[in-house]
Structure 1
């Protein structure tokens, strides 16, 4: 592999300097250099989501030795206001990235995949949204499908009949515009969820451009048809940039992700995210919830998008006379154990891998929003 040219070295060094300067300002230089950047550089830590459709009764998926190498983590969350019960309903086995993590496999009886490996912060976002049996859910930017699998499990009623699966009147619609990612999403969901749920239409894969102003009109349930929407929006994904850059430099190459990084790209990305958020708000019913999330570090893509959403809703109320508004409910989550996972931001919460708890999860920003009548 040829060494980097002088011009290439300058290019990547300039990009790295701008990258580090941007986030050192946002997070404080000492934290960025001493804890946050090293934590982002470390290998991703994974959790495993047990697929209860594949393994009724949740039998052990792993061997005795594999179980010994793991720990069990409880997810915090909000309270279901209708019953005042904590919706911490699952436990997740976790493993350090440098340990062998058991790959998913097909269960012999159901032929569905046994589990899904992902960052536990993603599972936390699903729990914060708090789906329950009978809810009509939209996973708006769903590929590759891990959060959709988790959502589907929370829609599963107690006393689930594996021979005749049902979502108790609810549904899960998972959307992805990109062709390749849509195919992957479809394949993954078919590998994890019972075929009957697709035949009845309770689970569907959609392919819509959520940034279009009329996108909500094209959704299967139309505007206001969903009880809850999960919007894990496409973002700058800085941890991926950091990992790609480190890997490329080890091989004497320039990482495209870092070389092309620009400080102004978050502003452009935020416009797309705000458009998606507006469609998500139009898709949910009055009284329903939207969980907006990104894996970005940027304030512009996180709290900034929530603020832009508030502004855009205000403009639509004046221009079109819509009779609903956006209310931020993230503050309602304080004092329920979430502080052991995340730190509060202006409008939401952020899970970062240098959190004092040592969980090493994230990054993940999320804000819990409610569509309210006016």
Structure 2
């Protein structure tokens, strides 16, 4: 009896597994047929779009059902071990395909010539660290990193401290946070009107020059003035990210027990001393986290520079040089090498952030 029962269970498991495999094969065939059909239907755009949506949803559903059927056909002990790989594995593979492989490809191309066919060793990296334009880009990125990060953190902290004491706190925070909803490109377009320049004697439609002329001064072509144009571009970053820093700092400040402030006031400490000696040390970790986040933004800054100056007038940064090498000069080797340098500069910041999060048990 026991033997016949085992045979029956084995047959059930085998039939389930066969059903799952068949469903998986059908799904793959459905995927191949749909892909072939989409390659043929190049004229009927609307029909092709609708078919792609229906076909894609069907493929995902088929993959899910076939994977679930295969897992359920296995013994319970195996299911617990395999389930994470079956359902998370495809996502990991897709992420690896679109993230890891491009990184490897970029490293590979950085050692080759303009067209990626002739090996040149470290020549591209030698160009990066010796070319005059690249040295300007490095210097500007350093200015963005130090000045941009410092101003965002400073103004974000000051606004958070002041806004928490205002009767219209929510309205003030909403208005200050509002620029975060604007993209870098959109912000660049807006600030082009702020810095817009017309020759003396002509009507000034730029906000800044209109104020200068109204006060009796001469209009200035702000984005051409070296080296101050880099600082004028950094103002845009500060305008965008002060609201972000304010929200994070405000949440951290609200987490400080009121008893600490009350004890400081009882001891005779004023607002400034309380802020410097108690509040800021209590949110030191938050300040570091916000600072590293802004540092990452400044290391990869591109949109503002591209929109405002296109890297002209001594405002080049690493990302704008990478873009020009790749898509203007068509030198894939140098463009890839610059991308590698940016990637290597970002890694320590990311590692530090992850280490800090691990200490705070964020991932536990």
- Flag the structure with larger Rg: 2
Structure 2 length as normaliser, TM-score?
A: 0.25
Higher relative contact order (Cα pairs below 8 Å, separated by 6+ residues): 2
The structure where strand makes up a greater share of residues is 1
Higher helix share: 2
Q: What TM-score do you get using the length of structure 1 for normalisation?
A: 0.24
